[in-house]
Amino acid sequence: MDYLAIIVITFISGVIGTGLGGIVGAVLRRESNKIVSLLLSFAAGIMLAVVCFDLMSEPIELMKNGELPSYTPFIVVAAVIFGYAVVYLLNYAIDKRTDREVTHIDANHPATADDLDELIHSNHYETHKKERSHLFVAGLVMMTAIALHNLPEGMVIGASYATEENLTANLFSGSGFIMAIVIGMHNIPEGMAVAVPLITGGMGKGKAILLTALSGLPTVFGALLGYALGGINQIMLVLSLGFASGAMLYVVFGELLPESILMWKSKLPALSLFIGVLAGFLLVMY
């Protein structure tokens, strides 16, 4: 029953959240950078609060109650570093793959004097068709990257729920539910980033939304893995929470904050982050 509850909540957070972003992208076809920037920084603030005030503090509380050894903080730090490093390396591999795909596309369509002449004098339809093809491939690469990102994000939800003694009763409360909501919010702009190039590249809206939603499916598998590992024993729970914390810290400092600032060079994303931290603190405390 617990695993079924995990599947349902992470399906909503991962698949529905990403799919909703696909629908928004299909309808608008254009992102509002200011709104997305504030959304990303606010989500980053809540994630940061949950990691610092809940996920990383849970093992310390268990240690103070005599349930874990005195060297528990070192285990937490090592697990956080490991989680951060794994997601960093995953992102590095994805970025490298993306650069290779773009280079490959450009190599297949090198710019020549004939191309310039074509832009001025010849068939504009063929030029537009090439541009659409490039956008379509970019959308597929983005979809693969986001699908891989969603696996460790799902582990965060699962590891958070592993701390609950009665998961069914606390399914809609506690850090697990908060992380499910925040990651679902985070998935909306990601879904937009996948759907817009796919649709602009020529794919039908319905198919693009479906593929975008499916890129959120690894969230479910990650959550099941995180919950299973966290439920083995106390040490595995500490390792799972630490790994999840490290993964989220990379998402916050390596992705959400830089992206939000690049999208809108203003002081308001920082204010949105600040509000997000306070909101996350209140959610954790109550």
Backbone region of residue 266 per phi and psi (left: phi > 0; alpha: psi in -120 to 50; beta: other values): beta
* Whether the Cβ atoms of residue 215 and residue 153 lie closer than 8 Å to each other: no
Residues spanned by the domain of 248: 2-285
Backbone angles phi, psi at 109, to 5 degrees: -130, 60
Confirm whether pTM is higher than 0.85. no
| pLDDT tens column, 76-118 | 999 999 999 988 887 787 667 656 655 554 455 454 444 444 4
Whether 181 shows a pLDDT value over 80: the answer reads yes
Tell me the percentage of the chain whose pLDDT exceeds 90: 22
Structurally, how many domains does the chain consist of?
Answer: 1
Q: DSSP H helical segments within the chain, as ranges? A: 2-10, 17-28, 33-50, 57-64, 72-108, 113-121, 124-161, 174-200, 205-214, 218-230, 234-250, 257-263, 268-285
| pLDDT tens column, 250-267 | 888 988 888 888 888 889
